[in-house]
Amino acid sequence: MTLNSIFVLGMHRSGTSALAGAISYLGVNFVSPNDELPATISNPNGYFERPLILNFSDLMLSTQEWTWSNVNLLPFDVEKTSSHVYEARQIIDELSTAGLVGLKDPRICLLMPFWRRALLDRFATIVITRDPAEVAWSLHVRDGFPVATGLALWIAYSAHLANGIQGLSSHVLRYEDLINHPTAELTTIAEFLLESGVPISNHESNVEVAAKSIDPTLCRPTFPDWLETHPLTIEARSIRELFHQTSAGDISFNPSELCREILSFQKTAQNLLETNHQLDLARAEIHNQRDSFQLELTQASNDYVKAVVTLEELIEKLDTEKSDLEQKSARLNQIEQSFSWKLGLFLTWPIRKLRPSNRVPSRSRQ
């Protein structure tokens, strides 16, 4: 059976990016032209991850109330993701149009039950492991996690991965072997993929180019001496050996109570951080609303002052107009009185004019 996709699986900071970058020279597409996570100081040669897959992984984790740094040891409840199976198949089908599909995202270690249901086991898996102490210290340096948290997360990822690849034919390699013997390791990987039905380009020149892409200077195994004797380091290293000494499909172990307690504490801490983040957002929103209210209040106050000034000006104008009207009214009254007096004189003038001439002195009549 020909397979069109492979999964590169491993805990964060375990060399999955270096491995995926090398395998890409064998004809496997881990990224798309417009869908590639850009390189950062943590991974200067690139992550070989698609944001599309990262976002989809986060969505699947959310169905379990997990995040990449906040998981528990309960079995993955694949029934909660059943509504996304068709979407996953569509994603792979669309990516397959460009050739062989490579999926590289450490979160997939937690999601294997979902992907196995979605793709019906029609894919190849390559697992890479790194010394858990190195991983924990790298997470401490990059993300500030306590080393105990990093070790507990390593164990949790390994537990879910071991359960997720039960029954699958998987190839498992060590990070340090890939760094120190890249040609030999990549040759073995190419043979495994061909045997699994993945039609890669296994020509010797392709393998040599792939091997040269491995940068040994990126391997920084430095960590404090006290981490060697940490109980979770001892536990995690013993679990790591199970991946290399046991058939990949038969790995089984039971994480310690200490690991469970640290994961529980991590969940509580993450929840507190999320709550604190929500409180900060609420506080910021309150401050924004207060500032907005103050601006509105200031604007309203300014508008009120302007309205008062305008009203006073109108009142003053009305008072002036009232005074003018009163003066005009008084003047009209004067004119009316003067006119009435003159009119009275004018109307009574003939009478007053005739009366003296019509009178006969009494003496004259006698």
pTM above 0.95, yes or no: no
Count of positions (residues) in the chain: 366
Condensed to tens digits (0 to 9), the pLDDT of residues 263-293 reads 999 989 888 888 998 999 999 999 898 988 9
In this prediction, residues 120-135 reach a mean pLDDT of 96
Pair of tokens at residue 79: 């029934």
| Mean of all residue pLDDT scores within the chain | 91
In the predicted model, is pLDDT for residue 304 greater than 50?
A: yes
End-to-end C-alpha distance for the chain, whole angstroms = 168
Cα gap 231→331, rounded to integer Å? 111
Residue type, position 254, single letter:
N
* Among 186, 50, 31, residue whose Cα is nearest residue 108: 50
The pLDDT score that the predictor gives to residue 217 is 82
Cα gap 6→211, rounded to integer Å? 19
| CA 327 distance to own-chain centroid | 76
Query: How many CA atoms lie within 13 Å of 257's alpha carbon, on the beta-carbon side?
Result: 0
φ, ψ for residue 95, nearest 5 deg: -70, -30
Q: Where are the domains of the chain?
A: 5-255, 319-355
Condensed to tens digits (0 to 9), the pLDDT of residues 181-229 reads 999 999 999 999 999 999 998 788 899 999 999 988 877 668 999 999 9
Asked if residue 150 lies in contact with residue 194, where contact means CB atoms within 8 angstroms, the answer is no
φ, ψ for residue 74, nearest 5 deg: -65, 145
Q: What topology is assigned to 5-255 in CATH?
A: Rossmann fold (3.40.50)
3-state SS assignment for residue 172:
strand
- Which residues, listed in sequence order, are joined to residue 102 by a DSSP beta bridge? 6
16 contact partners, CB below 8 Å, separation of at least 6 = 8, 9, 10, 104, 106, 128
Cα gap 155→139, rounded to integer Å? 14
CA angle (287, 289, 292) in 5-degree steps? 110
Cα gap 150→136, rounded to integer Å? 4
In this prediction, residues 137-144 reach a mean pLDDT of 94
Q: Out of 30-44, 85-99, 196-210, 321-335, which region has the weakest mean confidence (pLDDT)?
A: 321-335
- Tokens 């070790």 belong to 151
Pair of tokens at residue 345: 């004189």
Residue type, position 228, single letter:
E
Sign of CA dihedral 97, 32, 120, 166: positive
Kindly indicate the confidence band of residue 366, based on its pLDDT and cuts at 50, 70 and 90.
Answer: very low
The enclosing H or E element of 329 equals helix 257-358
The pLDDT score that the predictor gives to residue 324 is 87
φ, ψ for residue 29, nearest 5 deg: -95, 105
Kindly indicate the confidence band of residue 333, based on its pLDDT and cuts at 50, 70 and 90.
Answer: confident
Kindly indicate the confidence band of residue 357, based on its pLDDT and cuts at 50, 70 and 90.
Answer: low
* Among 200, 16, 176, 185, residue whose Cα is nearest residue 100: 200
- Tokens 């169905």 belong to 63
